[in-house]
């Protein structure tokens, strides 16, 4: 059997070597997220035995391309501080999500930062719900301007902030966290977005707005919708979700602020939805149903006439739900105007300045693959 390569035998680039005891090396290995080997050398297989991505030993440190140097020494590998220095002018903004996939908000905000002459480094943090507390703790301790919080973390993140804005407090959800020293203040820019989307389709005079509404979904976006509807004087709001307990949790959160009106959780059943639609004037879809071509959350025959519809789908100019509403004399809009307004508010919270809205529109259009002139179109009257 060929002799196994020891990590301490590796030729290291851009590292300073410090002789240490075996016990010290093992302690550091465990602290930095490496799994000590049962062999004598504690860093055996350093490049492929990492158990947690807690430290960066890539191009400046250990990687799979290292080769044996022929020397044996018990050493601690420490990156040269020169290679860890960051430009203080660069703002670091993690995007805390359950998936590492690129997001529209990242592309749009990056364009806004660049247009404003500011440097930003977005970091995609893939975190499961149970990992969120550790992510927030890291955010508080690190050199970050703030963070974007993406579903499904918005509700849980609210409980981990140092303080909350009024909108975040009312909704119990956070879409953006802003650093102030080691303190984190949570905000909910989704509320601004939803308000802009409703203003785009409802009558100019708020006194003429309908008083009954249906909300489909029970996530962070739905919380923003319910918050705006309550503050706008709606008298009845029915929240439908395929998992009834989630709708009940949303309703329970708003118990105090909704005590003057009728807010209720409803099971997702076609007959019940159709009966509720017969008495409502506004329908808001916050679910992912409609993202796929031809998908709609409501059967064609169930929609009443003259209904206002806000379908918070982003990458379709017109969805089947919007088309159905228009065919029955209603007014409908997609989620693009809401997204752009929420993006502008997020930029303001992170920088203290105003984003160039034309830059936001052009960036979103480029991501979706449509002309900027085709964004945020109100369909109907």
| Residue that is last in its domain, among 29, 62, 83 | 83
Band (228; pLDDT cuts 50, 70, 90): very high
Q: 150 lies in a domain?
A: no
Strand locations in 2-150, DSSP E?
15-19, 75-79, 90-97, 119-126, 146-149
How many domains, in total, are found in the chain?
Answer: 2
Q: What is the DSSP letter of 34?
A: B
| pLDDT over 80 at 69, yes or no | no
Determine the pLDDT at residue 224: 96
Same domain (yes/no): 196, 67: no
Neighbours of 331 (CB within 10 A): 21
Of 276, 327, 332, 270, nearest to 297 by C-alpha is 270
- Residue 345: pLDDT over 90: yes
Domain boundary among the residues 83, 101, 131 is at: 83
pLDDT digits (tens, 9 = 90+) for 137-193: 999 988 899 999 998 999 999 999 999 999 999 999 999 999 988 899 999 999 999
Q: Which residues, in sequence order, are CB contacts of 205 under 8 Å at separation 6+?
A: none
Query: Which of 83, 105, 120 is the last residue in one of the domains?
Result: 83
At residue 87, the pLDDT reads 55
Q: How far apart are CA 196 and CA 211, in angstroms?
A: 18
Are 297 and 273 in contact by the 8 Å Cβ rule? The answer is no
Cα(132)–Cα(153) distance, integer angstroms: 7
Percent of the chain with pLDDT over 90: 61
Distance CA 57, CA 54 (A): 10
Contact (CB, 8 A) for 349 and 189: yes
Measure CA of the first residue to CA of the last residue in the chain; give whole Å. 79
Question: Residue 359: inside a domain, yes or no?
Answer: no
Cβ atoms of 284 and 310 closer than 8 Å: yes
Candidate from 22-36, 103-117, 323-337 with smallest mean pLDDT: 22-36
Query: Nearest Cα to 322, choosing from 313, 332, 330?
Result: 332
Residues 308-334, mean pLDDT to the nearest whole number: 93
Distance CA 188, CA 65 (A): 45
Q: For residue 99, is it within any domain?
A: no
Any domain includes 375: no
Residue bearing the bigger pLDDT, 195 or 5? 195
State the pTM of this model: 0.74
Q: What is the mean pLDDT of residues 320-337?
A: 94
* Nearest-angstrom CA–CA distance, 378 and 310: 10
Task: Determine, yes or no, domain membership for 373.
Answer: no
* pLDDT band at residue 299 using 50, 70 and 90 as cut-offs: confident
Segments forming the whole domain that contains residue 236: 192-338
CATH number at residue 250: 3.40.50.720
| 154 flagged as catalytic | yes
- Candidates 128, 154, 156, 326; catalytic one: 154
Residue 122 lies in a domain: no
Strands (DSSP E) contained in 269-360 are 282-285, 308-311, 331-333
Structure-token pair, residue 350: 């992170």
- Together in a domain, 70 and 206: no
Q: Is residue 198 part of a domain?
A: yes
Residue 280 lies in a domain: yes
pLDDT at 217 exceeding the cut of 50: yes
List, in order, residues 6 or more apart from 173 with CB less than 8 Å away.
Answer: 154, 155, 157, 158, 188, 190, 220, 223, 224
* Structure letter (DSSP) for residue 4: P
């Amino acid at each position: 059997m060929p002799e196994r390569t020891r990590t301490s035998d590796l030729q290291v680039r851009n590292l300073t070597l410090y002789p240490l005891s075996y016990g010290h090396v093992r302690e550091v290995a465990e602290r930095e997220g490496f799994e000590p080997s049962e062999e004598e050398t504690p860093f055996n297989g350093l490049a492929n035995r990492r158990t947690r991505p807690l430290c960066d030993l890539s191009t400046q440190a250990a990687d799979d391309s290292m080769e044996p140097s022929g020397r044996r020494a018990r050493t601690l590998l420490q990156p040269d501080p020169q290679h860890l220095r960051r430009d203080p002018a660069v703002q670091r903004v993690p995007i805390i999500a359950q998936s590492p996939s690129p997001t529209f908000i990242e592309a749009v905000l990056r364009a806004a930062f660049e247009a404003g002459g500011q440097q930003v480094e977005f970091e995609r943090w893939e975190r499961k719900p149970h990992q969120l507390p550790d992510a927030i703790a890291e955010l508080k301790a690190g050199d970050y301007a703030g963070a974007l919080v993406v579903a499904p973390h918005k509700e849980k993140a609210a409980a981990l902030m140092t303080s909350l804005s009024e909108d975040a407090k009312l909704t119990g959800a956070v879409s953006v966290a802003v650093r102030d020293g080691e303190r984190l203040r949570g905000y909910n820019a989704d509320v601004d977005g939803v308000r802009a989307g409703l203003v785009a389709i409802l009558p100019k005079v708020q006194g003429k707005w309908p008083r009954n509404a249906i909300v489909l979904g029970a996530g962070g976006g739905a919380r923003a919708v319910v918050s705006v509807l309550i503050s706008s004087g709606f008298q009845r709001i029915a929240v439908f979700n395929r998992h009834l307990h989630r709708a009940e949790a949303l309703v329970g959160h708003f118990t105090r602020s909704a005590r003057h009106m009728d807010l209720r959780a409803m099971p997702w059943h076609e007959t019940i939805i159709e009966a509720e639609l017969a008495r409502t004037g506004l329908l808001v879809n916050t679910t992912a149903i409609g993202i796929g071509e031809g998908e709609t959350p409501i059967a064609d025959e169930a929609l009443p006439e003259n209904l206002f519809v806000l379908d918070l789908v982003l990458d379709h100019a017109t969805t089947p739900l919007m088309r159905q509403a228009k065919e029955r004399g209603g007014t409908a809009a997609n989620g693009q105007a809401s997204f752009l307004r929420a993006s502008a508010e997020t930029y303001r919270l992170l920088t203290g300045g105003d984003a160039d809205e034309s830059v936001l529109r052009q960036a979103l259009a480029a991501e979706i693959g449509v002309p900027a002139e085709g964004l945020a179109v109100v369909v109907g009257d």
